[in-house]
């Protein structure tokens, strides 16, 4: 039994150049009635203010990779985001026994992923929330990447019941776009309504399973002998997030115009295709597999 939800945190700007979450948090700070529900407290936080002031993803390290327990407890990690992660752990956690029950972390992507609900747990409360939102917003995609909460390095893993990321795109870094803003706003309203209905014992009619995509691996951009990028996402693949990539389908186009194909033996699906934030690591896309996500009983 999960028990009731008492404290919910909405975080924005974990990546400082993803302005949708930043401005939603600012908006709700002035209009808290939109995010308040009778049965729990909602708190709002800007997760990475320094990076946000510079409209950069991060200052020293990606903040959304700093939250596994070992790193939080490692005093040698003193980069800006590593310190910020420790502050957020003190504010929302501590990770081993968190004060906050659930964290909604708001992100955007330059990839054509539409509304993606990223769930890092098979916990029925979290999976149920994703199913609830997808019922209300059928265009949403469930992005399933289950991991152990204590080892997970995402900000959402500070929540007692984990939480999830709302990841909307395509939108360039450093931009606002009303449709993206409005869709993210709508998804958060559904998320809070779901928690309110659960807390107050209302019967929520949800399916026992839904289709989604499970993360398999990141795929590197082709590199030359000195580690330089030698190819880009193939034009046939651009914007084709969550569509099938079959053996022999084009993946990359070299600088000279030669096609590089997918040499795997099974069909996969792309996500984060040509995500700008991953160029620092020379990552071109993620491979996903289609999965059936089950909603188990509490
Ligand atoms: Zn992000």
Quick one: 188 and 229 in the same domain?
no
Quick one: 176 and 37 in the same domain?
yes
Tell me what pLDDT residue 85 has: 98
Tell me what pLDDT residue 1 has: 45
CATH number at residue 29: 3.40.630.10
pLDDT for 136-178, tens place per residue? 999 999 999 999 999 999 999 999 999 999 999 999 999 999 9
Quick one: 59 and 142 in the same domain?
yes
β-bridge pairing 231-233 and 250-254: antiparallel
Residue 153 alpha carbon to ligand 1 centre in Å: 13
Contact between 231 and 260 (Cβ < 8 Å): yes
Residue 14 alpha carbon to ligand 1 centre in Å: 6
Quick one: 281 and 220 in the same domain?
yes
Looking at the domain assignment, is residue 1 inside a domain? Answer: no
Residue that is last in its domain, among 176, 206, 236: 206
- How far is Cα of residue 183 from the mean position of the Cα atoms in its chain? 15
For every residue of 89-154, DSSP letters joined together read HHHH--TTS-S-SEEEEEEE-SSS-EEEEEE----HHHHHHHHHHHHH-TT-EEEE----TTT--S
Residue 109 alpha carbon to ligand 1 centre in Å: 7
Please count the other Cβ atoms lying within 10 Å of the Cβ belonging to residue 195.
25
Residue 167 alpha carbon to ligand 1 centre in Å: 7
Looking at the domain assignment, is residue 269 inside a domain? Answer: yes
Residues 6+ apart with CB under 8 A from 73: none
Tell me the whole-structure pTM to 2 decimals. Answer: 0.96
Tell me what pLDDT residue 153 has: 96
Please count the other Cβ atoms lying within 10 Å of the Cβ belonging to residue 199.
16
Residue 199 alpha carbon to ligand 1 centre in Å: 29
pLDDT < 50 positions in the chain: 1
Residue 84 alpha carbon to ligand 1 centre in Å: 16
Looking at the domain assignment, is residue 119 inside a domain? Answer: yes
Residue 163 alpha carbon to ligand 1 centre in Å: 15
Tell me what pLDDT residue 255 has: 97
Contact between 247 and 262 (Cβ < 8 Å): yes
Domain containing 18 equals 7-206
Residue 200 alpha carbon to ligand 1 centre in Å: 32
Looking at the domain assignment, is residue 177 inside a domain? Answer: yes
Tell me what pLDDT residue 297 has: 78
Tell me what pLDDT residue 296 has: 87
Residue 107 alpha carbon to ligand 1 centre in Å: 4
* Token pair belonging to 208: 């026992």
CATH number at residue 217: 2.20.25.160
How many domains, in total, are found in the chain?
A: 2
Rg (CA), the chain: 19
């Amino acid at each position: 039994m999960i028990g009731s939800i008492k404290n919910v945190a909405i975080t924005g700007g974990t990546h400082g150049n993803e302005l949708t979450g930043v401005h939603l948090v600012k908006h709700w700070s002035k209009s808290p009635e939109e995010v308040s529900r009778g049965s729990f407290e909602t708190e709002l936080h800007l997760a990475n203010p320094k990076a946000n002031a510079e409209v950069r993803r991060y200052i020293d390290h990606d903040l959304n990779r700093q939250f596994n327990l070992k790193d939080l407890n490692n005093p040698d990690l003193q980069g800006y985001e590593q310190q910020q992660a420790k502050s957020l752990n003190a504010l929302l956690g501590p990770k081993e026994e968190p004060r906050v029950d659930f964290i909604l972390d708001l992100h955007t992507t330059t990839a054509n992923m539409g509304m993606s609900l990223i769930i890092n747990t098979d916990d029925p409360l979290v999976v149920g929330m994703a199913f609830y939102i997808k019922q209300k917003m059928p265009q949403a995609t469930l992005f399933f990447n289950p991991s152990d909460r204590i080892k997970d390095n995402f900000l959402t893993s500070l929540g007692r019941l984990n939480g999830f990321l709302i990841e909307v795109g395509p939108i360039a870094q450093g931009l606002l776009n009303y449709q993206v803003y409005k869709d993210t706003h709508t998804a958060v309203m559904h998320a809070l309504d779901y928690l309110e209905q659960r807390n107050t014992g209302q019967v929520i009619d949800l399916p026992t399973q839904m289709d989604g995509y499970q993360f398999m691996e990141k795929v590197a951009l082709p590199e030359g002998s000195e580690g330089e990028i030698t190819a880009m996402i193939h034009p046939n693949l651009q914007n084709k997030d969550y569509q099938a990539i079959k053996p022999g389908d084009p993946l990359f186009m070299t600088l000279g115009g030669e096609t590089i194909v997918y040499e795997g033996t099974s069909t996969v699906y792309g996500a984060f295709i040509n995500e700008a934030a991953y160029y620092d690591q020379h990552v071109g896309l993620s491979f996903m597999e289609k999965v059936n996500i089950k909603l188990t009983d509490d």
